[in-house]
Structure 1
Amino acid sequence: MDDDTLFPRERVEIAPGAVHLPGWLGRERSADLLAACRAWALPPAGLRTVLMPNGGRMSVEQVSLGWHWYPYGYARTVVDGDGAPVKPFPAWLGAWAGQAVADAGPGAEAAAHAPAALPFDIALVNFYGPGARMGMHRDSDERVPAPVVSFSLGDTCLFRFGTPEGRGRPWQDIELRSGDAFVFGGPSRLAYHGVPRTRPGSAPAGLGLSGRLNVTVRVSGFSAAEDGVPQA
């Protein structure tokens, strides 16, 4: 529920299995998540920019929890950075993600996903500074169709949500504000999505954050014995 809006924004199903939960975090959880993100961003295995295979660099800065993401796979160490072991994934963040999925409703859940057997075990934390954006992509490096949960902090962004078929239209543009959650699973699990722009200076004054943080929580489907996923 929103804390700072006159008329509360309602839960909206954007596409089958894709649900926007405005203000889901609330003030207390937003503050707790921001404090955690600041700790996770510190080295070793801290915030970094990602070098893509084509030689370009992502404009967002990123840190991983549980498993380290690199284009296009996962590892237990920061293979494209300082080589340090990835920071652990916190159980409380997985519990938040599970509750958000439950609040999103049954359409967001994948029939093949058993939450008790396959807990959330990955988080990607993206920091959007001035001018940062995220191109259209899909989260396809995991091995199970469990839903993805996204939490937003700080500046408002334009979140573009498309279809699993490709990066182009049709898509929908959604405004994600600080404290919002967005869940996509089921038929929308592999939908293309991106962030064309953020709105600098739009973060809640009491939060104490300049820029935007996005924490995306996922289920890997990897076994504990694995040491990574090779690039496809």
Structure 2
Amino acid sequence: MSGDPLPFPRERADPAPGAVHLPDWLAPAEQRRLVESCRAWARPPAGMRTVRLPGGAEMSVRTVCLGWHWYPYGYARTVVDGDGTPVKPFPDELGDLARRALTAAYGPDGRATVAGTAGYAPDIAGTAGYAPDIAGAAGYAPDVALVNHYPHGARMGLHKDRDERTDAPVVSLSLGDTCVFRFGNTETRTRPWTDLELRSGDLFVFGGPARFAYHGVVRTLPGTADPALGLTGRLNITVRQSGLA
């Protein structure tokens, strides 16, 4: 979407066991449909809001939640840190898209073959060629999505997605401006990590040994989105299975 100077497509990357980057996974028409859906989800009530952390700082991204409302650090059925209204339902289209994403990342049998990952993290050192068993799409029941809008200058510090009561994989979709995404290890916020360029239409999935790895957005690259999207900044949709009743 942002233009690739090379005459051939970017290739799949497996930065850690269970972590998969599939460039250009969403077709342009799918991207445009998702941007329009995000606009509808962002409208009040239970619309997009700025999240305030317990220490008082505000996140630089703005967020709207679907299915369950995420707040630091838990889930609720209402926007407890906003207008107090019921959270919007989790859309079937995102559930179908997430199951399709798992099949693309891990294959129909739910196994992820990972190469070249030796020394990635202390608990999985020497795992080159490791193929972890990860639940396939058939058993995946996502019920929550976070839609984050990154205006110019926004970033996301290294963190773990650990408020869910399950280790089911996280599916992440990028729309709009390109970002530098940092995927770290499961032990600390320090190295080793891998920096990846996520462009509009890219898919990133992390599950299995990588499910609780630290990750974040170092920076976005303003003006890299396809003008046809009509989008300023970056949208990131993360789909998860909460494990909540």
TM-score by length of 2: 0.86
CA distance in 2, matches of 1:12, 1:20: 5
For the Cα contact (< 8 Å) 2:157–2:218, is it kept in 1? Answer: yes
- Structure 1 window deviating more from structure 2 (111-120 vs 38-47): it is 111-120
Match of 1:77 in 2: 78
Check if 1:19 corresponds to 2:8.
Answer: no
1:125 aligns with one of 130, 135, 147: 147
Match of 1:151 in 2: 173
Moved over 6 A (4+): none
For the Cα contact (< 8 Å) 1:160–1:171, is it kept in 2? Answer: yes
Residue 107 of structure 1 deviates from its aligned partner by: 2.1
Report the secondary structure of 2:90's partner residue: coil
Match of 1:207 in 2: 229
% identical aligned pairs: 62
Residue 112 of structure 2 aligns with an amino acid whose one-letter code is G
Match of 2:59 in 1: 58
Structure 1 segment 1-232 matched on structure 2, within 5 A: 5=4, 6-105=7-106, 106-107=111-112, 111=133, 113=135, 115-116=137-138, 118-223=140-245
For residues 149-198 of structure 1, the C-alpha deviation after alignment (integer angstroms, 9 at most, x for no partner) is 00000000000000110111111100000000100001000000000100
For the Cα contact (< 8 Å) 1:155–1:178, is it kept in 2? Answer: yes
For the Cα contact (< 8 Å) 2:2–2:199, is it kept in 1? Answer: no
Specify every segment of 5 or more residues in structure 1 that has no aligned partner in the other structure, as ranges. 224-232
CA distance in 2, matches of 1:4, 1:195: 21
Distance 1:139 1:110, change over 3 A: farther
For the Cα contact (< 8 Å) 1:112–1:145, is it kept in 2? Answer: no
CA distance in 1, matches of 2:189, 2:159: 7
Distance 1:115 1:10, change over 3 A: closer
Aligned-CA RMSD value: 1.8
For the Cα contact (< 8 Å) 2:90–2:144, is it kept in 1? Answer: yes
CA distance in 2, matches of 1:210, 1:115: 32
Residue 41 of structure 1 aligns with an amino acid whose one-letter code is A
Specify every segment of 5 or more residues in structure 2 that has no aligned partner in the other structure, as ranges. 114-130
